[in-house]
Amino acid sequence: MNFGLALQALAQHEIEFLVVAGVAAIAHGASTMTRDLGILYRLTPENVERLVRAFQELDAVSYGDPRRLPFEFSHLNNTGHHLAETRIGRIDALGSIGNDGEIVYEDVIDDAITLEAFGVSFRCIALERLIAVKEALGRPKELLAVMELKAVASQSDASLNDPGTRGGA
Amino acid sequence: MPRPKPKAKPRANPKPRDIRFGHDLSEIQNADGVDLALIRANLRLSVEERLLALEAQIRLADALDAARKKKP
């Protein structure tokens, strides 16, 4: 997985998205393991078109699909989870998050934080919001992550939420 | 005659200590057993360094997986 190239491709195509899931947890300081970049993208026709173009450029196909079909507008223009296998690694493009897909981009973008890495500025779900989403999911895997994320919150007052520190860069 | 040492005042909220195997684990873990030392180390890194460390972990996992598959 090349997170730098993935973030750069999403930024180049001006996709409105924020980083969620495991990579968001790691960006906040957790030490969990994940193999994919989870993004929650805005569900507007223009933005979905941009995501389709980015996926075409990255040779994205549906993960685990032996037909290796590329993504089209109709595949991405919904609140589903779209697991894409690309030439630079896996990108999980999520139209929504939460137990019943009740949380969309607009619900979490206002308190998202802005991060910089690999020459790209991108948004990431807020730590408190990530904890709340994972708590609501309630699966053992998520609750384990919640324990670590709460510990991160207790340690990171001077980190991501303070743009003056290294963690914010 | 030496002055008696003043009695140490008890701290208002003493941090609970978790002594096991001769170590005070409360210094490195919280009550849930989360490794605070590791989190503090992560927080000293930039976001880019954290993601590069994750990429290295993935490469290691892939290499171990490939080696395991090669075994007869």
pLDDT digit string (tens) for A4-39? 999 999 999 999 999 999 999 999 999 989 999 999
Identify the weakest region by mean pLDDT among A116-120, A162-166, B38-42: A162-166
Q: Which distant-in-sequence residues (6+ apart) come within 8 Å of B29 by Cβ?
A: B18, B35, B36
Residues of chain B contacting residue A39, judged by C-beta atoms under 8 Å apart? none
Which among B32, B51, B52 is the top mutation candidate for probing chain A, defined by the most A β-carbons within 10 Å of its own β-carbon? Answer: B51
Among B8, B31, B6, B5, which residue's Cα sits nearest to residue B18?
A: B31
The alpha carbon dihedral of B13, B26, A144, B58 has a sign of positive
Rounded mean pLDDT, B57-62: 92
Kindly indicate the confidence band of residue B5, based on its pLDDT and cuts at 50, 70 and 90: confident
Structure tokens at A7: 């973030």
- Out of B42, B45, B55, the one facing A3 most closely (by C-beta) is B55
For a pLDDT cut of 70, what percent of chain A falls above it?
A: 92
Question: Is A88 in contact with A58 (CB distance < 8 Å)?
Answer: yes
List the one residue out of A112, A108, A145 whose CA is nearest residue A126. A112
Q: Is any Cβ of chain B less than 8 angstroms from the Cβ of A2?
A: yes
Distance CA A79, CA A95 (A): 4
Q: What is the count of residue pairs from A and B with beta carbons less than 8 Å apart?
A: 79
How large is the average pLDDT for residues A92-114? Answer: 94
On average, the pLDDT of chain A sits at 90
pLDDT at A163: 39
DSSP string computed for chain A: --HHHHHHHHHHTT--EEEEHHHHHHHHT-----SEEEEEE---HHHHHHHHHHHHHTT-EETT-TT-PBP-HHHHSSSSEEEEEETTEEEEEES-BSTTS-B-HHHHSTTPEEEEETTEEEEE--HHHHHHHHHHH--HHHHHHHHHHHHHHHH-TTTTTSTTSGGG-
pLDDT at position B56 over 90: yes
CB A107 within 8 A of CB A99: no
- pTM, whole model, 2 decimals? 0.82
Q: Rounded to an integer, what distance in angstroms lies between the CA atom of residue A79 and that of residue A42?
A: 10
Which of B38, B40, B43, B47 to mutate to probe the A interface, most A CBs <10 Å? B47
- Which candidate, A31, A25, A126, places its Cα nearest to that of B37? A31
Q: Using the predicted structure, report yes or no on whether residue A168 has a pLDDT greater than 60.
A: no
CB of B44 within 8 Å of a chain A CB? The answer is yes
Task: Report the gap between the CA of B42 and the closest CA in chain A (Å).
Answer: 5
How far is it, in rounded angstroms, from Cα A39 to Cα A111?
16
